[in-house]
Amino acid sequence: MQTDSSFTFVLFGGTGDLSMRKILPALYEAHRAGGMLADSGKIVAVARHVADRADYLEWVNEHVKPHVSKNGVDETAWASFLDRIEFVKIDLGKAEDFALLRDALSGRPGIRVFYLATGPSLFVPICRALASVGLNENSRIVLEKPLGYDLKSSNAINDAVGEIFAEEQIYRIDHYLGKEPVQNLLALRFGNVLFEPLWRREWVESIQITIAEELGVEARGDFYDNTGALRDMVQNHLLQLLSIVAMEPPHSMDSDSVRDEKLRVLRALKPIDPRDIGKVAVRGQYHSGVIRGSAVPAYATEPGVKPDSTTETFVAVKVEIENWRWAGVPFFLRTGKRLADRVAEIVVNFRAVPHSALGASALRGGANRLVIRLQPNETIRLYCLAKQPGEGMNLASVHLDLAFDRFFREGQMEAYQRLLLDVINGRLALFVRRDEQEAAWRWVEPILDEWAASHKPPKPYAAGTWGPAAASAMLAQHDTCWLEEEN
């Protein structure tokens, strides 16, 4: 993934939490690895909360260092990384300040990347201000989620940004698509003949996709209370992961071939009848509880949250895909805050054998299973049955590991690092195209509308549990359960 391409990476929201925790650490890791970033490449941070470059570098030293390199900071690499960083003080509310940015970027070789690590309300004003000073040419723009509040607002942002930047210049980022196991899922499916005959309704009983968090809303109460789990996680991360799991083999791995196949999945999602939403969608809100021995407060008492809030912090939904490969196979999506563990995983449950001479254990649903763990430990495991040592034919579940560190000396690349390198090098395959985003919003909106119209509060669940019991009951109707319940 080496590049000789010169670039200028302009980071709006340069003092923000996302920049400190993810973006600058990812750029540092690429710099430290050597050869991934052109020597001439520069990072220009844009903010108004610090006075000058010296103050900004002091801020970076304090807030970025704790988030880089699990094995510690290489001080030599860190010093040369800081040499890449420049700073321009801009008030994003003042379009005339962008002339300062234009002057700072004047005469620089290579592509310009504008990363908008800001609230979505600033996306359009920033893009218009960039265009007003001629900075929308020879450039790429990276948009963080959430992109809008619903289909209408999402379209409004996309329309406005699309008047300034061409679609091939727009990188809508979803960091889950950059995770190593997601890439390996593509390799597993499309690089090996073994799984393709099994990857269909005849052999797959159900699929679960979970993104669970132990954390609450932290300092994001104001934002989260106006967003909720369905908008924050399901509309983007979970539906994107579903489309990767369920897509047909693309013609090639170029950006449009991959995204065309993902779009076909999103357009094949079975529309949910509003009368059935109570049966196929569960929403919950965490109350006080205990996580890892520490008491945590209820969502309604978090800073920035309305005391009578009906915003959901948990969603479980059953999804069906209306095509020949997946007809009749339920996909169960789940996400929530203040759950029992921090985990993101894809679970493919294969059907039990139709008849077994080895006893009832060979007929258990879930004995044959593929688990793709995205976090905290990125692994792929294939579960199957094997005979236990000793007398008799007693079967037990065992697993085969795809252990990356045993086969590859180089460490796994973090999701943001991969995606930022893709932006710099002009690779769009792992970024969300506008028509994908519209299809996802179109499918989600009936659930949002029904929940808003019903005025029913979310189902309560104690912090430190796996969410409302109704989420388990929904799977029980299909004679299955969530992975942690079986274990």
- Please tell me whether 91 is known to bind a ligand: yes
C-alpha distance from residue 328 to each of 239, 317, 378 (Å): 18, 15, 30
Confidence class of residue 213 from pLDDT cuts 50, 70 and 90?
Answer: very high
Using a pLDDT cut of 90, give the percent of the chain over it. 72
Query: Containing H/E element for 197?
Result: none
Is 67 annotated as a binding-site member?
A: no
- Greatest mean pLDDT among 61-75, 170-184, 322-336: 322-336
Residue 157 has pLDDT above 70, yes or no: yes
Per-position DSSP letters for 356-376, written without gaps between them: -SS-GGGG-TTSSEEEEEEES
Q: What angle do CA 307, 453, 266 make, to 5 degrees?
A: 105
Whole-number pLDDT of residue 168: 96
Domain ranges of the chain: 7-144, 177-413+428-486
Supply angle C-alpha 205, 208, 209, rounded to 5: 150
Quote the pTM value.
Answer: 0.92
Whole-angstrom distance, CA of residue 248 vs CA of residue 225: 37
State yes or no: 337 annotated in a binding site.
yes
In sequence order, the 6+-apart residues with CB closer than 8 A to the CB of 87 are 14, 44, 45, 46, 47, 50, 52, 53, 56, 57
For residue 447, what pLDDT is reported? 96
Strands 204-212 and 331-336, bridge-based pairing = parallel
Decide if pLDDT at 362 tops 60. Answer: no
Using DSSP's 3-state secondary structure scheme, residue 7 falls into: strand
Residue 50: pLDDT above 50?
yes
Residues 392-438 pLDDT 10s: 777 777 888 876 667 776 667 889 999 999 999 999 999 999 999 99
213 is in an annotated binding site: yes
d(CA 182, CA 187): 9
pLDDT band at 241 (very low <50, low <70, confident <90, very high): very high
pLDDT at residue 337 in the model: 97
Is residue 237 flagged as an active site residue?
A: yes
Q: Return the pLDDT at 146.
A: 79
pLDDT greater than 50 at residue 13 = yes
179 annotated as ligand-binding: yes
Mean pLDDT of all residues in 462-477 = 97
Cross-strand pairs, 178: none
Does 427 carry a binding-site annotation?
no
Q: How many other β-carbons are positioned within 10 Å of the β-carbon of residue 3?
A: 16
User: According to the model, what pLDDT value does residue 1 have?
Assistant: 44
What whole-number percentage of the chain has pLDDT above 70? 95
| 7-144 CATH pick, 3.40.30.10, 3.40.50.720, 3.10.620.30, 3.10.350.10 | 3.40.50.720
Least confident of 26-30, 121-125, 366-370: 366-370
Helix axis angle for 239-246 and 434-454, nearest 10°, is: 130
**Annotated active-site residue in 31, 49, 67, 237:** 237
Residue 145 annotated as lining a ligand binding site: yes
Does residue 2 surpass a pLDDT of 50? no
Instruction: Count other C-beta atoms under 10 Å from residue 52's C-beta.
Output: 10
CATH number attached to the domain at 177-413+428-486: 3.30.360.10
Average pLDDT score over the chain: 91
What lies within 8 Å, CB to CB, of 163 at 6+ separation is none
Give residue 413's pLDDT: 83
As beta bridge partners, residue 170 has 141
Dihedral through CA 99, CA 100, CA 102, CA 107, nearest 10?
Answer: 140
Coil vs helix vs strand at 394: coil
In this model, does residue 455 exceed pLDDT 50?
yes
Is 70 part of any known ligand binding site? no
Q: Model confidence at 19, in pLDDT bands (50, 70, 90)?
A: very high
Is 130 annotated as belonging to a binding site? no
Over residues 323-352, mean pLDDT: 96
- Of residues 17 and 366, the one with the higher pLDDT is 17
Q: How many CB atoms lie within 10 A of CB 100?
A: 15
Average of pLDDT values for 20-49?
Answer: 93
Q: Which two tokens stand for residue 170?
A: 């727009």
Give the pLDDT confidence score for residue 361 in this predicted structure.
Answer: 61
Residues 287-315 have a mean pLDDT of 95
